[in-house]
Structure 1
Amino acid sequence: MSSSRHDPALENAPLQEKVIVVTGGFGVLGSALGQYLRDRGARIALLDRAATTQAGERDESNVLALGGVDLTSVESANSAFRQVAEHFGRIDGLVNVAGGFAWETLEGASLSTWDHLYQMNLRTAVVASQAVLAHLLAPQGGRVVNIGAQASLKAGLGMGAYAASKAGVARLTEALAEELKDRHITVNAVLPSIIDTPTNRTDMPDADFSRWVSPTQLAAVIAFLLSDAADAVTGACLPVSGRV
């Protein structure tokens, strides 16, 4: 088991020594979230289906990067979470970032889009949540935070499949929160509007990017939900709208 490097500046950090798993950890949001949490004292496990990460220099005692993890597979997920628990000695929280987006109208569309977004957005969250429970069901409790979407509240044109999958994430959040509320585990979701990523800027070049939600802004809300200060919050789906 690795131990984190002592840093006096982090002694009072809100997430000091907490072990947090971030799925989709090699992507834009996952990478930004991992760095944000690490800066606040957490030890981070980044899981991703991609084989490698292009993330910069890191202290390997505080960050574990596992590529090639298929979170639609129970076996692959269980193996990854076991590796995390063995490396750090425990798991305190999970953030389900893994997911994807597709724009497609229903008329003339392929049902494969609906199946694909279900797999990416909902099944991965279900499988990862099941896999982490064996490690969270300990006296210290734990945290689960899901990445939903404001589109789950009201779908727009071409957003049917995406919104339906993210609505499933919201209902998963609520149901799991009820299931675990007497076991010292909170389960919440954040519902961002448009996240300011390079892909979104390319797809919407005429938009006012300053109105969108930056990965760092979203990470700040997630960090609160992972902290001890959020102990009284569970089953919440929190809009993070920016100025959209």
Structure 2
Amino acid sequence: MTQSLSRRVVAITGALGNLGETLADMAAAQGADLVLIDQATMAMPSSHNRLVLSGIDLTSLADCQAVAHQINRYFGRLDALVNGAGGYAWEPLLGSAIEAWDRLYSLNLRTALNASKALLPLLLQSSAGRIVNIGSSMAAKAGLGMGAYAASKSSVLRLTESLAEELKDMSITVNAVLPSVLDTPQNREAMPDAEHQRWVTPAQLAAVILFLISEQASAVTGTGIPVIGRM
């Protein structure tokens, strides 16, 4: 089935990440207008179909509300939000700082929470609003040293489920993707002996996200979709 995001405005947080860049390219190829959001500085300029917002602290609700104002002024609408910002750390409880739990909570849950809350007024004006959160396959079961990361990603899934119930009569769907290890240069460097061909590529994960923000996914909400390759 051919999908099209023509005349749809899609906001992507964490736009400079491996997934964010791939998703932006694939969404643009389907005709989407883009809002690219990241804390780091992006070299690309804004254009008629792309709003670039650098230096955004998504752990700050005020920053997210400022983003909403700029989107409204630039495009006058928003149809989809992909909460791609996040972080990872391997942190056994013994010998590590307890602050790692707060840090991953902020990076993974608070960013999605703030962006969703701030951009919801714009999404409610869309005839088919979409929110997609990036969870993790470890939301179901944590491995060694993964407690803080898995707890934060499990919270993202609980946010997804709760918000989907809250919005299900308002023409907005809310879903999460739950990937295993992504095949990125950073992960290959960290795990050089792993079977990389079993991992999920950013393009494979982006394809699932693009389906979830498409018209074809109008009946899908409140789900956490595993995208685990051949792990």
**TM-score scaled by length of structure 2:** 0.96
Q: 1:97 aligns with which of 81, 84, 92?
A: 84
Q: 2:48 aligns with which of 37, 45, 61?
A: 61
Please give the per-residue CA displacement for 1:121-156, whole angstroms capped at 9, x wherever unaligned.
Answer: 000000000011110112513000000000111100
Q: Deviations over 1:14-56 (max 9, x none)?
A: 1111000000011111111111111111111110011x2256x
**Distance in 2 of aligned mates of 1:13 and 1:185:** 18
* Greater CA drift, 31-40 or 137-146: 137-146
Determine the structure 2 residue equivalent to 1:228.
215
Q: Secondary structure at the match of 1:222?
A: helix
- Retained in 2: the 8 A contact 1:26–1:54? no
* 2:101 matches 1:114: yes
For 2:187 and 2:106, how far apart are their aligned partners in 1? 22
Residue of structure 2 in register with 1:9 after alignment = none
1:46 aligns with 2:36: yes
Q: Contact 1:150–1:239 (CA<8 Å) still a contact in 2?
A: yes
Counterparts of 1:13 and 1:155 in 2: how far apart (Å)?
35
- Quote the Cα distance in structure 2 between the aligned partners of 1:17 and 1:156: 42
User: 1:208 corresponds to which residue?
Assistant: 195
Q: Is the Cα contact below 8 Å between 1:34 and 1:44 reproduced in 2?
A: yes
Shift of 1:184: 0.4
Within 1, Cα distance between the matches of 2:215 and 2:67?
Answer: 26
2:24 to 5, 20, 34: 34
CA RMSD, 1 decimal:
1.3
Instruction: Name the CA distance, whole Å, in 1 between partners of 2:134 and 2:48.
Output: 27
Shift of 1:111: 1.0
1:241 corresponds to 2:231: no
SS in 2 for 1:100: coil
What is the alpha-carbon distance in structure 2 between the residues aligned to residue 207 and residue 65 of structure 1?
36
Query: Hey, what's the Cα distance between the residues in 1 that align with 2:43 and 2:201?
Result: 20
Aligned twin of 2:8: 18
For the residue of structure 2 that corresponds to 1:68, the secondary structure is coil
1-side partners of 2:162 and 2:74: how far apart?
30
CA drift at 1:108:
2.3
State the distance in 1 between where 2:69 and 2:205 align.
28
Look up the match of 1:186: 173
CA contact (8 A) 1:188 1:236 kept: yes
Aligned residue type for 1:22: I
In the superposition, the TM-score normalised over structure 1's length comes to: 0.91
Structure 1 residue 13, shift from structure 2 partner: 5.2
Measure the CA separation in 2 of the matches of 1:139 and 1:104: 41
Structure 2 unpaired stretches of 5+: none
- Deviations along 1:175-198, whole A, 9 cap, x unmatched? 000000000000000000001111
CA–CA distance in structure 1, aligned partners of residues 124 and 7 of structure 2: 18
1:43 to 1:142, Cα distance in 2 relative to 1, 3 A: same
* AA in 2 matched with 1:17: R
Give % identity. Answer: 54
**Structure 1: gaps of 5 or more residues:** 1-11
